[in-house]
């Protein structure tokens, strides 16, 4: 494999926290007196900054509303995610294969860094990543490349030697802005055709296919 590092998004790339995320939306919307959206509507917001998803679904762009929603959401969703977020099929095998090959890995996600660490710890994978950068550690979230650039700097690798893997158009645009290669992973709600006109080196239907693409 030619890449010097492989970096991942989390939601619908390495893991599926839909149950916890939807429970958080139910709690937050109910507490604030908003109608609760259906599960599939919420699924299509996964990968967005949480506050932006709230604004999209309610029309409330006030700082107070956005802050309150995150607080109410987190009361329910964060402990649920930490307690039992399943990994996507093939995730653990892919990460262990990369480790065996001596390829450093990292995560750049809009999810809170502490939540990510808790999820990985539950699967015995917390120490497998060189760096984990959640949305709380950046001032500008994806598609701004701040988080990805932070990891590239810490790893001291050139963007052209790095593969970023994600499930959304936002992830593809993030990789393009940082100058890394991009692999789309179809574990989420974005179909393959939406990536066709964006820079990418591969579209993987799942993580087992991604592992094969990497020759692991």
Residue 124: phi and psi, rounded to 5, are: 70, 25
Q: Are 44 and 53 in contact (CB under 8 A)?
A: no
Q: What does the pLDDT look like over 8-58, one tens digit per residue?
A: 999 999 999 999 999 999 999 999 999 999 999 999 999 888 999 999 999
Please, is 186 exposed, middle or buried when counting C-beta atoms within 10 Å of its C-beta (0-12, 13-18, 19+)? middle
Please, is 171 exposed, middle or buried when counting C-beta atoms within 10 Å of its C-beta (0-12, 13-18, 19+)? buried
CATH code for the part of the protein at 18-84: 1.10.150.240
> Which of 78-87, 145-154, 163-172 shows the lowest per-residue confidence on average (mean pLDDT)?
78-87
Residue 82: per-residue pLDDT:
86
CATH code for the part of the protein at 5-16+86-213: 3.40.50.1000
Residue 151: phi and psi, rounded to 5, are: -65, -40
> Which of 46-55, 148-157, 199-208 shows the lowest per-residue confidence on average (mean pLDDT)?
46-55
Any idea what the Cα angle at residue 189 is, between residues 185 and 192, rounded to 5°? 50
For the chain, give every domain's residue range: 5-16+86-213, 18-84
Residue 6: phi and psi, rounded to 5, are: -125, 125
Longest dimension (CA), the chain: 52
Q: What is the pTM of this model?
A: 0.91
């Amino acid at each position: 494999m030619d890449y010097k590092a492989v970096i991942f998004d989390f939601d619908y790339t390495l893991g599926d926290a839909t149950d916890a995320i939807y429970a958080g939306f139910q709690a937050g919307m109910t507490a604030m007196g908003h109608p609760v959206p259906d599960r599939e509507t919420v699924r299509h917001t996964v990968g967005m900054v949480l506050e932006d998803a709230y604004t999209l679904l309610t029309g409330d762009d006030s700082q107070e509303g956005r802050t309150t929603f995150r607080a109410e959401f987190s009361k329910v969703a964060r402990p649920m995610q930490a307690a039992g977020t399943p990994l996507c099929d093939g995730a653990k095998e892919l990460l262990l294969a990369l480790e065996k090959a001596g390829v450093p890995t990292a995560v750049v996600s809009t999810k809170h860094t502490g939540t990510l660490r808790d999820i990985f710890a539950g699967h015995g994978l917390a120490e497998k990543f060189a760096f984990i950068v959640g949305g709380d550690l950046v001032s500008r979230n994806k598609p701004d490349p701040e988080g990805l650039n932070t990891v590239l700097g810490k790893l001291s690798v050139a963007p052209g030697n790095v593969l970023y893997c994600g499930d959304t158009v936002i992830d593809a645009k993030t990789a393009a802005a940082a100058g890394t290669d991009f692999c789309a992973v179809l574990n989420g709600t974005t179909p393959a055709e939406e990536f066709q006109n964006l820079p990418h080196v591969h579209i993987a239907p799942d993580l087992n296919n991604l592992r094969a693409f990497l020759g692991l």
